[in-house]
């Protein structure tokens, strides 16, 4: 039995789950609606506020999908009830971030500014404090989408290993290199 797949998903108050005949699971909550198509072999049941995912056999294919779909459905339930948040820090002299609606404007030390158009489901906020690095906060109810957007933003200027300049997640530990040795012969 899958250790993840056998765990039940508790539905918080205000969250409802509908299972369509074509095995599409739709989760509705205070922060929106998300849906996921589930493989026809996997059965999803909702009983008394608890959602369970079951597989028909012990084949490797069914075992792999069991935990996957349980995790995806759990992520949808958490997303529509509490949502997800990602914070990224811009480390570097002169690095700036501004948000105008769904447009994120980044100054990352290049000769030009970089504009990122955010999806409608993602809300962004940029904050700049005195003597601190700019922080871009992304919020969404879709965990997969917010992860993709955060990875795209990070790819614009990955942190380099010598000084740590670039875009990093808040709390991320970077592996640093020593650089040149002063007394090298």
At residue 1 the predicted structure's pLDDT band, cuts being 50, 70 and 90, is low
Q: Which helix (DSSP H) or strand (DSSP E) does residue 151 occupy?
A: helix 143-155
Distance CA 72, CA 59 (A): 20
pLDDT in tens, 12-69: 999 999 999 999 999 999 999 999 999 999 999 999 989 999 999 999 999 989 999 9
β-strands 9-10, 50-54 pairing: antiparallel
Tokens 């739709």 belong to residue = 26
87 beta partners: 137
pLDDT of residue 129: 84
The residue that leads in pLDDT, 1 or 135, is 135
- What dihedral do alpha carbons 78, 70, 67, 169 form, nearest 10°? -20
1 in helix, strand or coil? Answer: coil
pLDDT (tens digit per residue) in 79-97: 999 999 999 999 999 999 9
pLDDT tens for 165-181 read: 999 999 999 899 988 87
Per-residue tokens: 50:
């608890």
Residue whose pair of structure tokens reads 């039940």 in the numeric block: 8
Q: Residue 71 phi/psi, 5° resolution?
A: -65, -40
């Amino acid at each position: 039995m899958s250790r993840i797949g056998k765990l039940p998903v508790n539905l918080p108050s205000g969250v409802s789950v509908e299972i369509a005949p074509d095995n599409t699971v739709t989760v509705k909550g205070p922060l929106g609606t998300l849906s996921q198509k589930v493989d026809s072999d996997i059965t999803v049941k909702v009983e008394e506020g608890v959602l369970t995912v079951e597989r028909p056999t012990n084949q490797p294919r069914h075992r792999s999908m069991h935990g996957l779909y349980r995790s995806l459905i759990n992520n949808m339930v958490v997303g529509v009830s509490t949502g997800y948040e990602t914070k990224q820090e811009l480390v570097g002299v002169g690095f700036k971030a501004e948000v105008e609606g769904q447009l994120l404007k980044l100054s990352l030390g290049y000769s030009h500014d970089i504009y990122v158009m955010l999806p409608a489901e993602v809300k962004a906020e940029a904050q700049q404090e005195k003597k601190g690095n700019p922080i871009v906060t992304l919020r969404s109810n879709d965990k997969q989408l917010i992860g993709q957007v955060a990875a795209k933003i990070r790819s614009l200027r990955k942190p380099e290993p010598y000084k740590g300049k670039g875009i990093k997640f808040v709390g991320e530990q970077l592996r640093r290199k020593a650089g040149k040795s002063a007394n090298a012969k």
